[in-house]
Structure 1
Amino acid sequence: MDVKPYPLQFKPEMKERVWGGRALERFGLELPAGAIGEGWMIGDHPNGTTKVVNGELAGVGLDAIRERYGREWFGSRGFSEKNGRFPLLIKLLDCNDDLSIQVHPTDDYEGLPAGELGKTEMWYILDAKPGAKIIYGLKDNVDRQTMETAIAEGRIMDTLQEVPVKAGDAFYIPAGTVHALCAGVVVAEIQQNSDTTYRLFDYNRPGLDGKLRELHIEDSLNVIAYDGAGAVHLTSTETPAGQWLTIASSPYFVVEKGVVDAPWRLGTSRESFSILIIAEGEGSLQWADGEKPVKAGECYLLPATLGEYGLDGKMTVLRSVVPA
């Protein structure tokens, strides 16, 4: 079947988490029963593959689209070199409670499961309750021995940096950075296509099955970047309309923020797909063969061959591409 490229929207894969809630309903998303912590909005992973809900490819999974259209739609940079899958995983997170203190490995960590990638990611804070914070990196002079001793003595929190957050803040989290989202935030997450997390501490709480969740102390100690991995954050509340502001840049993704308040003509590149996350507001998305209304909480995969497209309305948009 010869299908012209068009913006793809997917049915999210919802994940129940001990720290989740119901806040994703505010975006009009349909949630199953339970504490829903993660909506996998665009995913091509064994633990969650999303299916298209719009247009000619409705009902087709992202994995099948990858196999059918290959580099034509995803671009020359649109594949993981390690496992051939779509390189990114896009999530919305509802943190009704604190997440575990955790760290992710790099691609070359020998303890990774077969076919799995490392996990460099970034967060964009969509909403934050007063006083909300995150754990973001280590305090000065914390080395492996210091961390190991603090864990053994039950005082890991003494080694960690707490950072207050508000809507519009962006955080780049390279693999090796100790981190944790805390209660009261809703987040858009752009990350490598990986589901590998090593937990250092989980507040001694039971998981959904009533048992204490597994910790991964040795793996965590092995992959922590004690001297820093290049984590940076910025506040982007003053983004000028009609311009892209880079809020995260890595070897795996570049994420930009744009404010739409008038018609804005844009285009895709043959080298990479584009992913649009509507972070706030509503408007429309136009391309050569169509137009559709869009609103906060929606995510779209624009094929590399889509070409010219346009945005209009009153909204804040995050755009992600794979860099050269």
Structure 2
Amino acid sequence: MKLRKKSVPKPWGQITLPTLFGGKQKEKIGEIWFLPRKGITPTLLTKYLFTSEKLSIQVHPNDREARRQGMPGGKEECWYILEAEPDAILGIGLKKEVSATKLHAAVVCGQIEQLVDWKPVKSGDLFYIPAGTIHAIGRGISLIEIQQNADVTYRLYDYGRPRELHLQEAITVATPVPYDMKHFSETPPDQSAKLIDGPHFRLFQVLGDDQRLLKGVAAGEWQIIPLEGQVVARDKTIGPGECGLCTKASEINLSKNIKSLIACSMK
């Protein structure tokens, strides 16, 4: 099926989106979500993000921590960078390992920005963000985010914006260490590849009608995000700026595909 689009206003979003998403907007749009019809709750959630300012410094709990708080599950995610301005940066992990006490002090004293490890970013970069990773997306970036379908974010710091912070919850679930660069890769521009093989989902880059990577994968669901060309999922044509959902790899027709991202949730 073809998922419906939902535009989500954000204070750090952009007024002018790509033509695929309607160009100039009446308010700042930070995210485009892809949602199913009522009665269906996908395991994964796919989003496009567009930033004109830094996002909050935040962290997500893992499944066990989230369930302790009465939520159905935690949140791990990945970022596929579509475009980035020359000075664009991402904050992922810390420059050095610190204790929870020192992390708390850095937030209270307004020093958390200096503690976060801000990394330069460019088109084609891919970052997997395990639960517990302290992170923030910088300005001037367009990306695709694929995540566990859980709305659970704890903000450590938000640059003085009038939004709720969750200091104690964030410090409790945070892993205050440098980011492990094994979770980073530069996506190959001219070949199909398995980009992520995580505990909750896998992500593939598929060029043309190359089905080899999808065969034999025991997945709960598949989400298709065409970047160039079209993909047919359960007889629905999905194009760039859209997202499709199906339950079997055999329901994905790549005959008109040029380049797509395909994510699957793990059973």
The TM tier, using the shorter chain, reads 0.7 to 0.9
Would you say 1:233 and 2:172 are equivalent positions?
Answer: no
Q: Which of residues 5, 30, 42 in structure 2 aligns to 1:86?
A: 42
1:141 alignment partner in structure 2: 97
**How many equivalent residue pairs?**
264
Change (3 A) 1:321 1:122: same
- Of 220, 229, 232, which aligns to 1:272? 220
Instruction: Find 1:40's aligned residue among 17, 33, 40.
Output: 33
- How much does 1:15 deviate? 0.9
Is the contact made by 1:134 and 1:182 (CA closer than 8 Å) also made in structure 2? yes
Higher strand share: 2
Quickly say closer, same or farther: Cα 1:111–1:143, change in 2 above 3 A: farther
Residue of structure 2 equivalent to 1:21: 14
In the other structure, the counterpart of 2:261 is: 318
- Which position in structure 2 is the counterpart of 1:302? 246
**Paired residue for 2:206?**
258
- TM normalised by structure 2 equals 0.87
In 2, the alpha carbon distance for the partners of 1:28 and 1:115 equals 32
Which amino acid letter does the alignment assign opposite residue 147 of structure 1?
L
Cα 1:270–1:215 shift into 2, 3 Å = closer
Q: Give, in angstroms, the shift of residue 179 of structure 1.
A: 0.4
Q: Is the 8 A contact 2:89 2:120 kept in 1?
A: yes
Would you say the 8 A contact 2:60–2:76 is kept in 1? yes
After TM superposition, the structure 1 = structure 2 runs for residues 155-234 of structure 1, keeping only pairs within 5 Å, are 155-205=111-161, 212-227=162-177, 232-234=183-185
Give the letter aligned to residue 172 of structure 2.
N
Q: Distance in 1 between matches of 2:144 and 2:265?
A: 17
Q: Tell me, which stretches of 5 or more residues in structure 1 are unaligned?
A: 1-7, 44-49, 51-60, 67-84, 206-211
Report the 3-state secondary structure (helix = DSSP H, G, I; strand = E; otherwise coil) of the residue aligned with 2:220: coil
User: In structure 2, what residue type is equivalent to 1:214?
Assistant: E
The 1:30/1:311 distance shift into structure 2, 3 A limit, reads farther
Instruction: Compute the displacement of 1:93 (Å).
Output: 0.8
Question: Which has the larger Rg?
Answer: 1
- Aligned residues of 1:23 and 1:186 also touching (Cα < 8 A): no
Secondary structure of the residue aligned to 1:296 is coil
- Any idea what the Cα deviations from partners look like across 1:152-205, whole Å, max 9, x if unmatched? 221111211011111111000011000011110011110011111111111112
Cα 1:143–1:224 shift into 2, 3 Å:
same
In structure 2, C-alpha distance between the alignment counterparts of 1:291 and 1:198, rounded to whole Å: 37
What SS is found at the alignment partner of 1:258? strand
Q: How does 1:279-298 map to 2 (within 5 A)?
A: 279=227, 281=228, 283-286=229-232, 290=235, 292=237, 294-298=238-242
Alignment TM-score, normalising by the size of structure 1: 0.73
* Equivalent residue letter for 1:217: L
* Secondary structure of the corresponding residue to residue 90 of structure 2: strand
Structure 2 spans left out of the alignment, 5+ residues: none
Q: Indicate the residue corresponding to 1:73 in structure 2.
A: none
Q: Which amino acid aligns with 1:323?
A: M
Q: Percent identity?
A: 30
Q: Distance in 2 between matches of 1:32 and 1:130?
A: 24
